[in-house]
A and B are shown apart, each in its own frame.
Chain A
Amino acid sequence: METVLSVNSICKVFGSITAVDQLSFTVRRGDVIGLLGPNGSGKTTALSIILSVINPTSGSYTWFEGLKGESANKRIGALLEVPYFYPYLNLEKNLQITALARGYGEGDIQRVLDEVGLLKRSKSQFYTLSLGMKQRLAIASTLLGEPEVLVLDEPTNGLDPEGIAEVREIIKHQASKGKTIIMASHILDEVEKVCPSVIILKKGKCIASGKVAELLNEKKVVLLESDDLDLLKVQLGQNANCKLIGIENSTLLVELVDDYSPSALNTWLIGCGIALSRIELRHKTLESQFLELVGKPEKL
Protein backbone atom coordinates (compact mmCIF):
# COMPACT_ATOMS: atom_id res chain seq x y z
CA MET A 1 0.00 0.00 0.00
CA GLU A 2 1.24 3.49 -0.85
CA THR A 3 3.05 5.34 1.91
CA VAL A 4 1.34 8.68 2.50
CA LEU A 5 3.64 9.99 5.20
CA SER A 6 7.06 8.90 6.33
CA VAL A 7 8.54 10.57 9.41
CA ASN A 8 12.17 9.86 10.22
CA SER A 9 13.66 10.75 13.60
CA ILE A 10 12.29 14.28 13.79
CA CYS A 11 13.41 16.40 16.74
CA LYS A 12 12.37 19.87 17.80
CA VAL A 13 14.18 21.71 20.55
CA PHE A 14 12.90 25.01 21.99
CA GLY A 15 15.70 26.32 24.21
CA SER A 16 16.13 23.75 26.96
CA ILE A 17 12.90 21.92 26.08
CA THR A 18 12.88 18.99 23.68
CA ALA A 19 9.32 19.09 22.39
CA VAL A 20 9.71 16.22 19.91
CA ASP A 21 12.42 13.63 20.42
CA GLN A 22 13.47 11.22 17.63
CA LEU A 23 9.91 10.60 16.48
CA SER A 24 9.49 8.20 13.57
CA PHE A 25 6.36 6.68 12.08
CA THR A 26 4.79 5.77 8.77
CA VAL A 27 1.24 6.33 7.59
CA ARG A 28 -0.16 4.32 4.67
CA ARG A 29 -3.03 5.24 2.38
CA GLY A 30 -6.35 4.69 4.10
CA ASP A 31 -4.88 4.53 7.61
CA VAL A 32 -6.74 6.26 10.41
CA ILE A 33 -4.14 6.96 13.05
CA GLY A 34 -4.45 8.70 16.39
CA LEU A 35 -1.62 10.62 18.02
CA LEU A 36 -2.39 10.22 21.67
CA GLY A 37 -0.68 11.88 24.59
CA PRO A 38 -1.21 14.24 27.49
CA ASN A 39 -0.91 18.01 27.12
CA GLY A 40 2.66 18.97 26.32
CA SER A 41 3.57 15.57 24.93
CA GLY A 42 4.56 17.05 21.56
CA LYS A 43 1.52 16.15 19.44
CA THR A 44 0.91 19.65 18.05
CA THR A 45 4.62 20.30 17.55
CA ALA A 46 4.95 17.04 15.62
CA LEU A 47 1.96 17.96 13.43
CA SER A 48 3.30 21.52 12.97
CA ILE A 49 6.56 20.05 11.67
CA ILE A 50 4.93 17.69 9.18
CA LEU A 51 2.75 20.59 7.97
CA SER A 52 5.84 22.82 7.47
CA VAL A 53 4.64 25.40 9.95
CA ILE A 54 7.75 24.99 12.07
CA ASN A 55 11.15 23.74 11.03
CA PRO A 56 12.49 20.61 12.75
CA THR A 57 15.79 20.86 14.61
CA SER A 58 16.78 17.57 12.99
CA GLY A 59 15.22 14.65 11.16
CA SER A 60 13.12 14.58 8.03
CA TYR A 61 9.69 13.70 6.67
CA THR A 62 8.11 13.24 3.27
CA TRP A 63 4.52 13.18 2.10
CA PHE A 64 3.26 11.10 -0.81
CA GLU A 65 6.63 9.41 -1.31
CA GLY A 66 8.74 12.48 -1.96
CA LEU A 67 6.72 15.66 -1.50
CA LYS A 68 7.21 18.27 1.20
CA GLY A 69 6.03 21.78 2.02
CA GLU A 70 3.38 23.58 0.01
CA SER A 71 3.04 21.01 -2.76
CA ALA A 72 2.17 18.36 -0.16
CA ASN A 73 0.01 20.66 1.98
CA LYS A 74 -2.25 21.45 -0.97
CA ARG A 75 -3.36 17.80 -0.88
CA ILE A 76 -4.04 17.83 2.87
CA GLY A 77 -6.96 19.23 4.84
CA ALA A 78 -5.51 20.26 8.18
CA LEU A 79 -6.72 21.76 11.41
CA LEU A 80 -3.97 22.67 13.84
CA GLU A 81 -4.93 23.65 17.41
CA VAL A 82 -7.54 26.41 17.38
CA PRO A 83 -9.25 27.80 14.26
CA TYR A 84 -7.37 30.62 12.54
CA PHE A 85 -9.44 32.86 10.29
CA TYR A 86 -9.82 36.55 9.46
CA PRO A 87 -12.24 37.83 12.11
CA TYR A 88 -13.56 40.65 9.92
CA LEU A 89 -14.44 38.42 6.94
CA ASN A 90 -17.57 36.28 6.67
CA LEU A 91 -17.46 32.49 6.62
CA GLU A 92 -17.76 32.24 2.85
CA LYS A 93 -14.85 34.63 2.25
CA ASN A 94 -12.71 32.83 4.83
CA LEU A 95 -13.35 29.50 3.13
CA GLN A 96 -12.73 31.12 -0.27
CA ILE A 97 -9.28 32.10 1.00
CA THR A 98 -8.60 28.50 2.05
CA ALA A 99 -9.81 27.21 -1.33
CA LEU A 100 -7.63 29.72 -3.21
CA ALA A 101 -4.61 28.79 -1.09
CA ARG A 102 -5.10 25.11 -1.91
CA GLY A 103 -5.91 25.82 -5.53
CA TYR A 104 -9.21 23.93 -5.49
CA GLY A 105 -12.54 23.71 -3.70
CA GLU A 106 -14.01 27.16 -4.43
CA GLY A 107 -17.21 25.50 -5.66
CA ASP A 108 -17.39 23.33 -2.57
CA ILE A 109 -17.96 26.06 0.03
CA GLN A 110 -21.75 25.69 0.42
CA ARG A 111 -21.49 21.89 0.72
CA VAL A 112 -18.91 21.93 3.53
CA LEU A 113 -20.77 24.67 5.39
CA ASP A 114 -23.90 22.53 5.17
CA GLU A 115 -21.98 19.45 6.34
CA VAL A 116 -20.92 21.18 9.57
CA GLY A 117 -24.28 22.92 10.07
CA LEU A 118 -23.12 26.47 9.38
CA LEU A 119 -24.83 27.16 6.05
CA LYS A 120 -27.25 29.65 7.61
CA ARG A 121 -24.32 31.60 9.07
CA SER A 122 -22.36 31.77 5.80
CA LYS A 123 -22.64 35.58 5.65
CA SER A 124 -21.76 36.12 9.33
CA GLN A 125 -18.40 37.54 10.21
CA PHE A 126 -16.07 35.03 11.82
CA TYR A 127 -15.73 37.00 15.07
CA THR A 128 -19.47 36.69 15.72
CA LEU A 129 -19.26 32.88 16.02
CA SER A 130 -19.14 30.91 19.26
CA LEU A 131 -16.06 28.78 19.99
CA GLY A 132 -17.89 25.64 18.93
CA MET A 133 -18.97 27.23 15.64
CA LYS A 134 -15.42 28.40 14.97
CA GLN A 135 -14.26 24.83 15.46
CA ARG A 136 -16.93 23.59 13.04
CA LEU A 137 -15.77 26.14 10.47
CA ALA A 138 -12.21 24.91 10.88
CA ILE A 139 -13.41 21.37 10.20
CA ALA A 140 -15.34 22.63 7.17
CA SER A 141 -12.16 24.20 5.81
CA THR A 142 -10.34 20.87 6.08
CA LEU A 143 -13.04 19.19 4.01
CA LEU A 144 -12.98 21.76 1.17
CA GLY A 145 -12.36 20.10 -2.17
CA GLU A 146 -12.23 16.59 -0.68
CA PRO A 147 -8.48 16.41 0.12
CA GLU A 148 -7.07 12.89 0.22
CA VAL A 149 -5.55 13.31 3.70
CA LEU A 150 -6.97 14.92 6.84
CA VAL A 151 -4.75 16.05 9.71
CA LEU A 152 -6.84 17.00 12.72
CA ASP A 153 -5.43 18.34 15.96
CA GLU A 154 -7.93 18.21 18.81
CA PRO A 155 -10.90 18.48 16.41
CA THR A 156 -13.52 18.44 19.15
CA ASN A 157 -11.99 21.32 21.12
CA GLY A 158 -14.69 23.61 22.47
CA LEU A 159 -17.60 21.53 21.21
CA ASP A 160 -20.58 20.48 23.30
CA PRO A 161 -21.37 16.74 23.60
CA GLU A 162 -23.72 16.91 20.60
CA GLY A 163 -21.04 18.69 18.57
CA ILE A 164 -18.43 16.14 19.62
CA ALA A 165 -20.66 13.30 18.42
CA GLU A 166 -21.33 15.11 15.11
CA VAL A 167 -17.63 15.72 14.48
CA ARG A 168 -16.88 12.12 15.31
CA GLU A 169 -19.45 11.03 12.73
CA ILE A 170 -17.96 13.40 10.14
CA ILE A 171 -14.50 11.91 10.71
CA LYS A 172 -15.82 8.35 10.57
CA HIS A 173 -17.68 9.21 7.35
CA GLN A 174 -14.46 10.59 5.83
CA ALA A 175 -12.59 7.46 6.94
CA SER A 176 -15.24 5.29 5.30
CA LYS A 177 -14.49 7.06 2.00
CA GLY A 178 -10.96 5.66 2.22
CA LYS A 179 -9.29 8.90 3.28
CA THR A 180 -6.12 8.86 5.30
CA ILE A 181 -6.65 10.53 8.66
CA ILE A 182 -4.16 11.55 11.33
CA MET A 183 -5.87 12.78 14.46
CA ALA A 184 -4.18 14.11 17.58
CA SER A 185 -5.90 14.24 20.90
CA HIS A 186 -5.27 13.97 24.60
CA ILE A 187 -8.66 12.34 25.07
CA LEU A 188 -8.36 8.59 24.81
CA ASP A 189 -12.08 8.11 24.32
CA GLU A 190 -12.06 10.39 21.28
CA VAL A 191 -9.14 8.58 19.64
CA GLU A 192 -10.37 5.13 20.57
CA LYS A 193 -13.78 5.73 18.97
CA VAL A 194 -12.33 6.92 15.66
CA CYS A 195 -8.85 5.49 15.15
CA PRO A 196 -8.03 1.79 14.86
CA SER A 197 -4.30 2.57 15.37
CA VAL A 198 -2.54 4.89 17.78
CA ILE A 199 0.85 6.35 18.45
CA ILE A 200 1.24 7.24 22.10
CA LEU A 201 3.51 10.16 22.87
CA LYS A 202 5.11 11.16 26.13
CA LYS A 203 7.55 14.06 26.47
CA GLY A 204 8.00 14.14 22.72
CA LYS A 205 8.85 10.44 22.42
CA CYS A 206 6.81 7.60 21.00
CA ILE A 207 6.31 5.23 23.92
CA ALA A 208 3.96 2.82 22.18
CA SER A 209 2.29 2.32 18.83
CA GLY A 210 -0.02 -0.18 17.22
CA LYS A 211 -3.66 -1.23 17.22
CA VAL A 212 -5.68 0.30 20.04
CA ALA A 213 -7.13 -3.08 20.94
CA GLU A 214 -3.68 -4.64 21.23
CA LEU A 215 -2.08 -1.76 23.10
CA LEU A 216 -4.86 -1.10 25.49
CA ASN A 217 -6.73 -4.38 25.83
CA GLU A 218 -9.12 -4.44 28.71
CA LYS A 219 -7.59 -6.42 31.53
CA LYS A 220 -9.31 -8.12 34.44
CA VAL A 221 -8.64 -6.72 37.86
CA VAL A 222 -9.96 -8.27 41.08
CA LEU A 223 -10.28 -6.72 44.51
CA LEU A 224 -9.32 -9.12 47.28
CA GLU A 225 -9.77 -8.92 51.04
CA SER A 226 -8.72 -11.42 53.69
CA ASP A 227 -8.20 -11.49 57.44
CA ASP A 228 -4.48 -12.16 56.90
CA LEU A 229 -3.49 -9.65 54.24
CA ASP A 230 0.25 -10.29 54.60
CA LEU A 231 -0.10 -14.01 53.97
CA LEU A 232 -2.36 -13.26 51.00
CA LYS A 233 0.30 -10.98 49.50
CA VAL A 234 3.00 -13.63 49.94
CA GLN A 235 0.85 -16.32 48.27
CA LEU A 236 -0.12 -14.05 45.35
CA GLY A 237 3.58 -13.47 44.70
CA GLN A 238 3.90 -17.18 43.96
CA ASN A 239 1.13 -17.27 41.34
CA ALA A 240 2.34 -16.43 37.83
CA ASN A 241 -1.24 -15.89 36.61
CA CYS A 242 -1.77 -12.79 38.69
CA LYS A 243 0.05 -9.58 39.52
CA LEU A 244 -0.40 -7.35 42.53
CA ILE A 245 -0.88 -3.83 41.19
CA GLY A 246 -1.99 -1.87 44.22
CA ILE A 247 -3.33 -1.70 47.74
CA GLU A 248 -6.30 0.41 48.77
CA ASN A 249 -6.86 0.41 52.54
CA SER A 250 -7.19 -3.30 53.32
CA THR A 251 -7.98 -4.29 49.75
CA LEU A 252 -5.49 -5.76 47.30
CA LEU A 253 -5.81 -4.93 43.59
CA VAL A 254 -4.74 -7.87 41.47
CA GLU A 255 -4.50 -8.06 37.68
CA LEU A 256 -5.25 -11.45 36.12
CA VAL A 257 -3.79 -12.84 32.92
CA ASP A 258 -6.28 -13.13 30.05
CA ASP A 259 -7.58 -16.68 30.56
CA TYR A 260 -7.33 -16.86 34.34
CA SER A 261 -10.70 -16.41 36.01
CA PRO A 262 -11.47 -15.01 39.50
CA SER A 263 -12.99 -18.39 40.47
CA ALA A 264 -9.75 -20.16 39.49
CA LEU A 265 -7.84 -17.74 41.68
CA ASN A 266 -10.27 -18.29 44.55
CA THR A 267 -9.98 -22.07 44.23
CA TRP A 268 -6.19 -21.83 44.21
CA LEU A 269 -6.16 -19.61 47.33
CA ILE A 270 -8.47 -22.04 49.19
CA GLY A 271 -6.01 -24.77 48.26
CA CYS A 272 -3.28 -22.63 49.83
CA GLY A 273 -5.31 -22.35 53.01
CA ILE A 274 -6.43 -18.74 52.56
CA ALA A 275 -10.07 -17.80 52.89
CA LEU A 276 -11.10 -14.58 51.17
CA SER A 277 -13.57 -12.28 52.90
CA ARG A 278 -14.18 -10.44 49.63
CA ILE A 279 -13.52 -11.04 45.93
CA GLU A 280 -14.85 -8.59 43.35
CA LEU A 281 -14.15 -8.37 39.63
CA ARG A 282 -13.43 -4.98 38.08
CA HIS A 283 -12.41 -4.14 34.57
CA LYS A 284 -9.33 -1.97 34.25
CA THR A 285 -10.44 0.86 32.02
CA LEU A 286 -8.69 1.92 28.85
CA GLU A 287 -8.28 5.30 30.46
CA SER A 288 -6.38 3.87 33.42
CA GLN A 289 -4.15 1.81 31.12
CA PHE A 290 -3.42 4.90 29.04
CA LEU A 291 -2.57 6.88 32.18
CA GLU A 292 -0.37 4.00 33.29
CA LEU A 293 1.47 4.16 29.96
CA VAL A 294 2.02 7.91 30.09
CA GLY A 295 3.02 7.74 33.71
CA LYS A 296 0.11 9.24 35.63
CA PRO A 297 -1.07 7.69 38.90
CA GLU A 298 -3.50 4.90 38.33
CA LYS A 299 -7.11 5.26 39.37
CA LEU A 300 -9.56 2.42 39.23
Chain B
Amino acid sequence: MRNILKLEFIKTLGYPGFRTIVILHAVLFLLVVVIGSRVNLQFQGIKLDILVSFPYVWETLSWIGSWFNILLGILAIILVGNEFQFRTFRKQIIDGVSRNQLLNAKMIVMATLSIYALVLVLLSSFLLGFVYSDSITISSVFEKSPFVFVLFIQSFAYMMLGMLFALVLKNNAISIVTFILFFFPGEPILRAFFPDSIDRFFPIKIISNLTPMPDFLGITSKQLIQINGKSPSFQSMGLMPENLNVWFAALVCLAYIGLFYLLSKYVIERKNF
Protein backbone atom coordinates (compact mmCIF):
# COMPACT_ATOMS: atom_id res chain seq x y z
CA MET B 1 0.00 0.00 0.00
CA ARG B 2 2.99 2.31 0.57
CA ASN B 3 3.80 2.17 -3.15
CA ILE B 4 0.19 2.83 -4.07
CA LEU B 5 0.07 5.89 -1.82
CA LYS B 6 3.33 7.18 -3.25
CA LEU B 7 2.03 6.89 -6.80
CA GLU B 8 -1.27 8.47 -5.78
CA PHE B 9 0.51 11.52 -4.40
CA ILE B 10 2.81 11.77 -7.45
CA LYS B 11 -0.18 11.99 -9.80
CA THR B 12 -2.27 14.18 -7.49
CA LEU B 13 0.40 16.73 -6.59
CA GLY B 14 1.60 16.82 -10.20
CA TYR B 15 -1.87 17.76 -11.45
CA PRO B 16 -2.09 21.52 -12.10
CA GLY B 17 -5.88 21.49 -11.53
CA PHE B 18 -5.36 20.11 -8.03
CA ARG B 19 -2.88 22.83 -7.09
CA THR B 20 -5.12 25.55 -8.55
CA ILE B 21 -8.26 24.44 -6.70
CA VAL B 22 -6.45 24.02 -3.37
CA ILE B 23 -4.84 27.47 -3.68
CA LEU B 24 -8.20 28.96 -4.72
CA HIS B 25 -9.86 27.29 -1.73
CA ALA B 26 -7.30 28.71 0.72
CA VAL B 27 -7.23 32.19 -0.83
CA LEU B 28 -11.03 32.53 -0.95
CA PHE B 29 -11.41 31.33 2.63
CA LEU B 30 -8.71 33.64 3.94
CA LEU B 31 -10.09 36.59 1.95
CA VAL B 32 -13.57 36.10 3.40
CA VAL B 33 -12.12 35.72 6.90
CA VAL B 34 -9.89 38.80 6.64
CA ILE B 35 -12.58 40.98 5.05
CA GLY B 36 -15.25 39.65 7.43
CA SER B 37 -13.13 40.33 10.52
CA ARG B 38 -12.44 43.91 9.40
CA VAL B 39 -16.10 44.82 8.94
CA ASN B 40 -16.85 47.33 11.64
CA LEU B 41 -20.61 47.42 12.05
CA GLN B 42 -22.00 49.18 15.07
CA PHE B 43 -25.55 48.52 16.21
CA GLN B 44 -26.92 49.68 19.47
CA GLY B 45 -26.25 46.96 21.97
CA ILE B 46 -24.62 44.63 19.43
CA LYS B 47 -20.86 43.99 19.09
CA LEU B 48 -19.81 42.10 15.94
CA ASP B 49 -16.21 41.55 17.12
CA ILE B 50 -17.44 38.90 19.49
CA LEU B 51 -18.07 36.59 16.51
CA VAL B 52 -14.34 36.32 15.84
CA SER B 53 -13.21 36.20 19.46
CA PHE B 54 -12.92 33.12 21.63
CA PRO B 55 -14.89 30.89 21.92
CA TYR B 56 -17.32 31.93 19.14
CA VAL B 57 -14.59 32.17 16.49
CA TRP B 58 -14.63 28.35 16.20
CA GLU B 59 -18.27 28.32 15.17
CA THR B 60 -17.93 31.33 12.88
CA LEU B 61 -14.87 30.10 10.97
CA SER B 62 -16.17 26.53 10.76
CA TRP B 63 -19.30 27.92 9.18
CA ILE B 64 -17.30 30.08 6.74
CA GLY B 65 -15.00 27.12 6.02
CA SER B 66 -18.01 25.00 5.15
CA TRP B 67 -18.94 27.41 2.32
CA PHE B 68 -15.86 26.21 0.46
CA ASN B 69 -16.21 22.51 1.18
CA ILE B 70 -18.22 22.09 -1.99
CA LEU B 71 -15.03 23.07 -3.85
CA LEU B 72 -13.30 20.10 -2.23
CA GLY B 73 -16.22 17.88 -3.27
CA ILE B 74 -15.76 19.07 -6.86
CA LEU B 75 -12.01 18.48 -6.58
CA ALA B 76 -12.71 14.87 -5.52
CA ILE B 77 -14.93 14.45 -8.60
CA ILE B 78 -12.17 15.81 -10.85
CA LEU B 79 -9.49 13.57 -9.32
CA VAL B 80 -11.61 10.44 -9.82
CA GLY B 81 -13.12 11.57 -13.14
CA ASN B 82 -9.63 12.21 -14.57
CA GLU B 83 -8.79 8.56 -14.04
CA PHE B 84 -11.66 7.64 -16.33
CA GLN B 85 -10.89 10.42 -18.81
CA PHE B 86 -7.21 9.42 -19.09
CA ARG B 87 -8.17 5.72 -18.67
CA THR B 88 -5.47 5.45 -16.04
CA PHE B 89 -7.58 3.39 -13.62
CA ARG B 90 -7.52 0.81 -16.41
CA LYS B 91 -3.75 1.14 -16.77
CA GLN B 92 -3.17 0.75 -13.05
CA ILE B 93 -5.33 -2.37 -12.85
CA ILE B 94 -3.28 -3.79 -15.74
CA ASP B 95 -0.12 -2.91 -13.80
CA GLY B 96 -1.29 -4.83 -10.75
CA VAL B 97 -3.21 -2.39 -8.53
CA SER B 98 -6.39 -3.88 -7.09
CA ARG B 99 -9.73 -2.11 -7.35
CA ASN B 100 -9.80 -1.85 -3.56
CA GLN B 101 -6.40 -0.19 -3.54
CA LEU B 102 -7.57 2.34 -6.15
CA LEU B 103 -10.49 3.24 -3.89
CA ASN B 104 -8.48 3.32 -0.66
CA ALA B 105 -5.75 5.48 -2.18
CA LYS B 106 -8.33 8.04 -3.32
CA MET B 107 -9.90 8.02 0.15
CA ILE B 108 -6.52 8.72 1.74
CA VAL B 109 -6.00 11.68 -0.61
CA MET B 110 -9.46 12.96 0.37
CA ALA B 111 -8.75 12.48 4.07
CA THR B 112 -5.53 14.47 3.58
CA LEU B 113 -7.53 17.25 1.93
CA SER B 114 -9.95 17.22 4.88
CA ILE B 115 -7.02 17.54 7.28
CA TYR B 116 -5.73 20.46 5.22
CA ALA B 117 -9.18 22.17 5.44
CA LEU B 118 -9.25 21.50 9.18
CA VAL B 119 -5.76 22.90 9.75
CA LEU B 120 -6.59 26.00 7.68
CA VAL B 121 -9.65 26.76 9.83
CA LEU B 122 -7.87 25.78 13.04
CA LEU B 123 -4.93 28.13 12.47
CA SER B 124 -7.17 30.97 11.27
CA SER B 125 -9.41 30.56 14.32
CA PHE B 126 -6.45 30.69 16.70
CA LEU B 127 -5.03 33.73 14.97
CA LEU B 128 -8.28 35.68 14.85
CA GLY B 129 -9.27 34.58 18.35
CA PHE B 130 -6.03 35.88 19.86
CA VAL B 131 -6.26 39.15 17.93
CA TYR B 132 -9.90 39.95 18.69
CA SER B 133 -10.52 38.49 22.17
CA ASP B 134 -10.57 40.98 25.03
CA SER B 135 -9.81 38.45 27.73
CA ILE B 136 -8.16 35.14 27.03
CA THR B 137 -8.47 32.19 29.34
CA ILE B 138 -7.76 28.53 28.64
CA SER B 139 -11.45 27.70 28.99
CA SER B 140 -12.57 30.50 26.67
CA VAL B 141 -9.99 29.50 24.02
CA PHE B 142 -10.93 25.83 23.91
CA GLU B 143 -14.60 25.92 24.95
CA LYS B 144 -16.00 25.47 21.44
CA SER B 145 -12.84 24.25 19.70
CA PRO B 146 -14.06 20.64 19.18
CA PHE B 147 -16.59 22.26 16.86
CA VAL B 148 -13.90 22.65 14.22
CA PHE B 149 -13.42 18.87 14.00
CA VAL B 150 -16.87 18.36 12.54
CA LEU B 151 -15.56 20.37 9.60
CA PHE B 152 -13.25 17.43 8.89
CA ILE B 153 -16.20 15.05 8.83
CA GLN B 154 -18.18 17.44 6.66
CA SER B 155 -15.49 17.99 4.01
CA PHE B 156 -14.69 14.25 3.93
CA ALA B 157 -18.39 13.40 3.52
CA TYR B 158 -18.75 15.86 0.62
CA MET B 159 -15.69 14.37 -1.08
CA MET B 160 -16.91 10.79 -0.56
CA LEU B 161 -20.22 11.76 -2.15
CA GLY B 162 -18.35 13.49 -5.00
CA MET B 163 -16.25 10.36 -5.57
CA LEU B 164 -19.38 8.20 -5.71
CA PHE B 165 -20.90 10.50 -8.35
CA ALA B 166 -17.67 10.33 -10.40
CA LEU B 167 -17.46 6.53 -10.14
CA VAL B 168 -21.02 6.10 -11.31
CA LEU B 169 -21.06 8.75 -14.04
CA LYS B 170 -17.38 8.48 -15.18
CA ASN B 171 -17.48 11.96 -16.69
CA ASN B 172 -16.21 15.13 -15.00
CA ALA B 173 -18.66 17.61 -16.49
CA ILE B 174 -21.75 15.43 -15.95
CA SER B 175 -20.64 14.47 -12.42
CA ILE B 176 -20.00 18.07 -11.36
CA VAL B 177 -23.33 19.34 -12.73
CA THR B 178 -25.24 16.41 -11.17
CA PHE B 179 -23.43 16.93 -7.84
CA ILE B 180 -24.33 20.63 -7.76
CA LEU B 181 -27.92 19.97 -8.87
CA PHE B 182 -28.24 17.32 -6.17
CA PHE B 183 -27.28 20.00 -3.63
CA PHE B 184 -29.83 22.36 -5.05
CA PRO B 185 -32.59 21.88 -6.01
CA GLY B 186 -32.42 18.04 -6.15
CA GLU B 187 -32.40 17.06 -2.50
CA PRO B 188 -34.48 20.05 -1.25
CA ILE B 189 -37.27 19.09 -3.71
CA LEU B 190 -37.09 15.49 -2.54
CA ARG B 191 -37.18 16.59 1.09
CA ALA B 192 -40.39 18.54 0.49
CA PHE B 193 -42.23 15.21 0.26
CA PHE B 194 -41.15 14.16 3.74
CA PRO B 195 -42.05 15.40 7.24
CA ASP B 196 -39.47 17.40 9.25
CA SER B 197 -38.63 14.43 11.45
CA ILE B 198 -37.31 12.52 8.39
CA ASP B 199 -36.28 15.48 6.27
CA ARG B 200 -33.45 16.44 8.66
CA PHE B 201 -31.72 13.08 8.08
CA PHE B 202 -31.28 13.53 4.33
CA PRO B 203 -27.56 13.44 3.42
CA ILE B 204 -26.98 16.97 2.13
CA LYS B 205 -29.08 18.52 4.86
CA ILE B 206 -27.44 16.70 7.72
CA ILE B 207 -23.93 17.11 6.31
CA SER B 208 -24.37 20.84 5.72
CA ASN B 209 -26.01 21.29 9.13
CA LEU B 210 -22.86 20.02 10.82
CA THR B 211 -21.59 23.58 10.63
CA PRO B 212 -24.76 25.68 10.95
CA MET B 213 -24.78 29.44 10.66
CA PRO B 214 -23.83 30.77 14.10
CA ASP B 215 -26.73 32.39 15.92
CA PHE B 216 -25.42 35.91 15.40
CA LEU B 217 -28.31 37.47 17.27
CA GLY B 218 -27.92 35.23 20.29
CA ILE B 219 -24.14 35.61 20.40
CA THR B 220 -23.85 39.34 19.80
CA SER B 221 -26.60 40.31 22.16
CA LYS B 222 -25.83 37.80 24.86
CA GLN B 223 -24.50 40.15 27.47
CA LEU B 224 -26.50 43.18 26.46
CA ILE B 225 -30.13 42.32 25.83
CA GLN B 226 -32.18 40.17 28.13
CA ILE B 227 -35.76 39.27 27.28
CA ASN B 228 -37.55 37.48 30.07
CA GLY B 229 -34.15 36.65 31.51
CA LYS B 230 -33.01 34.95 28.28
CA SER B 231 -30.95 36.09 25.30
CA PRO B 232 -32.94 36.24 22.10
CA SER B 233 -31.87 33.91 19.30
CA PHE B 234 -32.90 33.23 15.71
CA GLN B 235 -34.19 29.88 16.84
CA SER B 236 -36.23 31.20 19.77
CA MET B 237 -37.71 33.77 17.36
CA GLY B 238 -38.59 31.01 14.89
CA LEU B 239 -36.17 32.34 12.23
CA MET B 240 -33.98 29.22 12.24
CA PRO B 241 -35.05 25.59 12.72
CA GLU B 242 -33.87 23.70 15.74
CA ASN B 243 -30.82 21.66 14.68
CA LEU B 244 -29.95 18.15 15.74
CA ASN B 245 -27.30 17.87 18.39
CA VAL B 246 -24.03 18.37 16.47
CA TRP B 247 -22.37 15.22 17.78
CA PHE B 248 -25.40 13.10 16.98
CA ALA B 249 -25.45 14.66 13.49
CA ALA B 250 -21.70 13.89 13.18
CA LEU B 251 -22.42 10.26 13.96
CA VAL B 252 -25.12 10.12 11.29
CA CYS B 253 -22.65 11.72 8.83
CA LEU B 254 -20.08 9.05 9.66
CA ALA B 255 -22.75 6.46 8.85
CA TYR B 256 -23.34 8.23 5.53
CA ILE B 257 -19.57 8.16 4.86
CA GLY B 258 -19.68 4.41 5.47
CA LEU B 259 -22.61 4.08 3.09
CA PHE B 260 -20.84 6.13 0.37
CA TYR B 261 -17.77 3.90 0.82
CA LEU B 262 -19.78 0.69 0.46
CA LEU B 263 -21.58 1.99 -2.63
CA SER B 264 -18.27 3.14 -4.17
CA LYS B 265 -16.74 -0.27 -3.45
CA TYR B 266 -19.74 -2.00 -5.03
CA VAL B 267 -19.48 0.17 -8.15
CA ILE B 268 -15.70 -0.10 -8.59
CA GLU B 269 -15.68 -3.87 -8.15
CA ARG B 270 -18.30 -4.42 -10.80
CA LYS B 271 -17.15 -1.81 -13.28
CA ASN B 272 -15.53 -2.68 -16.60
CA PHE B 273 -12.53 -0.37 -17.10
Contact = CB atoms under 8 A, between A and B. Distances in A.
A71 B96 contact: yes
B40 to A, nearest CB: 45
Interface string B6-31: 11001100111000000000000000
B88 A84 contact: yes
B95 A55 contact: no
B10 A73 contact: no
Contacts of B7: 96-97, 100-101
Contact of B86 (A54, A70, A84, A103): A84
Interface residues of A, number: 30
Interface in A99-154: 100-103, 141
Contacts of A71: 96
Contact of A97 (B10, B16, B87): B10
B94 A53 contact: yes
B90 A80 contact: yes
Nearest to B270: A55
Contacts of A48: 272
A112 B181 CA distance: 47
Main secondary structure of the interface of B (DSSP, over half): helix
Given A55-B272, A96-B7, A96-B10, A103 B96 contact: yes
A87 B97 CA distance: 20
A73 B272 contact: no
Contacts of B270: 55
Interface string B65-97: 000000000000000000000111011111111
Nearest to A126: B86
A51 to B, nearest CB: 5
A106 to B, nearest CB: 9
A86 B93 contact: no
A89 B10 contact: yes
Contacts of A88: 14-16
Nearest to A125: B14
B14 A53 contact: no
A84 B91 contact: yes
B235 interface: no
A100 B88 contact: no
Contacts of A102: 95-96
A86 B92 CA distance: 11
B272 A85 contact: no
A70 B91 contact: no
A75 B98 CA distance: 14
B88 A54 contact: no
Contacts of B90: 53, 80, 84
Nearest to B273: A53
A297 B169 CA distance: 42
Nearest to B97: A101
Interface string A45-57: 0001001111100
B170 to A, nearest CB: 14
B273 A103 contact: no
A80 B94 contact: yes
Given A70-B101, A102-B96, 13 more contacts: A53-B272, A69-B98, A74-B96, A80-B94, A84-B86, A86-B15, A86-B86, A87-B86, A88-B16, A93-B10, A96-B7, A97-B11, A100-B10
Interface of B: 3-4, 6-7, 10-11, 14-16, 86-88, 90-98, 101, 270, 272-273
28 contacts: A48-B272, A51-B93, A53-B94, A53-B273, A55-B272, A70-B101, A71-B96, A73-B93, A73-B94, A74-B96, A76-B94, A76-B96, A78-B94, A84-B90, A86-B86, A86-B88, A87-B86, A88-B14, A96-B7, A97-B92, A98-B91, A98-B95, A100-B3, A100-B7, A100-B10, A101-B4, A101-B92, A141-B95
- The 6 nearest A-B residue pairs measured at CB: A74-B96, A101-B95, A54-B272, A100-B7, A73-B96, A84-B91
